[in-house]
Structure 1
């Protein structure tokens, strides 16, 4: 572990970033209004797929989101509230995904959580396929109804790969950490102090800016499977199909990560120790901090 910390210190040749530089982006959702967030649909001209949204009305002290039938996968989009972050970040959120009447959302593919998306020039007016690049960690249910999971997903040029693994329901903390070319997805159940590494993403990204924030998506059993036309689906809001998914967000907090690695591309591909897939989880967690 000492060798890892030493290598990180040697690579951090640039001046240290203030640890509280990003805290102004944080939101405790206790003001009763949604301030300073960019809505993906409004910013890029897509139709509104949010069925319900409020701050503190449905759940005191929390953001409440209900999506219509939608998905973040391949070229498809769904509700997304974000802030723009320049450079590395450590973002955490306390969230709960449930149904209207119970602890587990209804149906399948009903999840919500954190996403970091690479900006592109695609809008509803100038949409282009194969231009989506993002990573996320969410909680809820996946392919099997009634079984709570985390879903981690990476999308490169609109090709999505995912990982589903069982995880407790109820309030949980989710976390995304970016250190150069590395993005780490973590989660921990309510009441636990140790983070669990749920996924590790590696990508060379020339754009230092990412859209970082909250997503919610769900599918309806009323919608039969069929060929996927992403442009048509993205331009349509299905308000008739039944959905039963609620995302609640108690808070979201932004900070700079503890590890720092020189940002030039060669240092990232040759010497970023966090990019080692064989790095033991215990060492990774110690480097990231609690």
Structure 2
């Protein structure tokens, strides 16, 4: 009952016609990205994409292979995005693997969905502690050879992550924003049920977010060193060997089943998706399939 009362205060009617459908991409073979924005081009950073094509390397899919890079704290890596105003429910069917096997080589080789709060921190005007984003990825984390999902939330460039075991092969990833709440989900190939992988609540009134696909990996050819984000972001490790590719069969956008009322007080006082007492099963029921 309490949940229903909170919902009536927070939420408007469920989404009707899908005004985000034009952002969908089935990644049919073509020579160019089309309407996607590349993060490094938009903000003046070096290109850390080792390889990118649609339909040639992986028939019917986007194939993205990053150079040595990372999305963590102030560091950036390859990112293809659309800018979305308001709430969204984005899903994608992806696979992360190595050139010769089902698991990418090395460590911290992951790819998937990210939603980033835009800022004015270009390469020319870069300042630290400006990064705010959330993601859900699949691949390999800290331990080589062990497939995982990773979820990560970053607030003013402070990153907090979770690694959880998961299988290899194709997987559906899902990232939902309802007001100031975000939910990350995964669904293994052939499964009917989504699994909630993470839930975040952030005081973020910016209606716009950059939403799309990320990929990052590490190379043993790069010697460990103290993290200097400005130096690392400005250099390319083009000769460092890596073994990771993100394949994306499709990505689809819609408005969530729940529609948040655009009122900050309703968000901070009654957003049910921010309630830690709400079970994953209830989250899934509210957000639907």
- Which category of TM-score, normalised to the shorter sequence, fits these structures? over 0.9
Q: Following the alignment from structure 2 to structure 1, what is the Cα–Cα distance between the partners of residues 43 and 113?
A: 19
Q: Following the alignment from structure 1 to structure 2, what is the Cα–Cα distance between the partners of residues 140 and 19?
A: 34
Structure 1 moving runs of 4+ over 2 Å: 2-13, 15-19
SS at match of 1:81: strand
Structure 2 residues not aligned, in runs of 5+: none
Q: Following the alignment from structure 2 to structure 1, what is the Cα–Cα distance between the partners of residues 237 and 70?
A: 12
| 1:131 Cα deviation from its structure 2 partner | 0.3
Aligned twin of 1:269: 268
Aligned twin of 1:26: 24
| 1:181 Cα deviation from its structure 2 partner | 0.7
Q: Following the alignment from structure 1 to structure 2, what is the Cα–Cα distance between the partners of residues 205 and 19?
A: 26
Residues 80, 216 of structure 1: 8 Å contact kept: yes
SS at match of 1:154: strand
| 1:218 Cα deviation from its structure 2 partner | 0.0
Residues 78, 215 of structure 1: 8 Å contact kept: yes
Over residues 67-101 of structure 1, what are the superposed CA-to-partner deviations in whole Å (9 max), with x where a residue is unaligned? Answer: 00000000000000000000000000000000000
- The alignment status of 1:202 with 2:201, answered yes or no, reads yes
Q: Following the alignment from structure 2 to structure 1, what is the Cα–Cα distance between the partners of residues 17 and 106?
A: 41
TM-score normalised per structure 2? 0.97
Q: Summarize the alignment of residues 86-97 of structure 1 with structure 2, pairs less than 5 Å apart.
A: 86-97=85-96
Residues 71, 218 of structure 1: 8 Å contact kept: yes
Q: Following the alignment from structure 2 to structure 1, what is the Cα–Cα distance between the partners of residues 86 and 129?
A: 24
Residues 15, 256 of structure 2: 8 Å contact kept: no
| 1:17 Cα deviation from its structure 2 partner | 4.3
Aligned twin of 2:170: 171
Q: Summarize the alignment of residues 47-66 of structure 1 with structure 2, pairs less than 5 Å apart.
A: 47-66=46-65
Q: Summarize the alignment of residues 78-157 of structure 1 with structure 2, pairs less than 5 Å apart.
A: 78-157=77-156
Structure 1 residues not aligned, in runs of 5+: none
Residues 10, 267 of structure 2: 8 Å contact kept: no
Aligned twin of 1:35: 34
SS at match of 2:259: coil
SS at match of 1:263: coil
Q: Cα–Cα, structure 1 residues 5 and 101, in superposed 2: closer, same or farther, change >3 Å?
A: farther
Which deviates further from its counterpart, 268-277 or 25-34?
25-34
Q: Following the alignment from structure 2 to structure 1, what is the Cα–Cα distance between the partners of residues 267 and 28?
A: 39
Over residues 113-167 of structure 1, what are the superposed CA-to-partner deviations in whole Å (9 max), with x where a residue is unaligned? Answer: 0000000010011000000000000000000000000000010010111000001
TM-score normalised per structure 1? 0.96
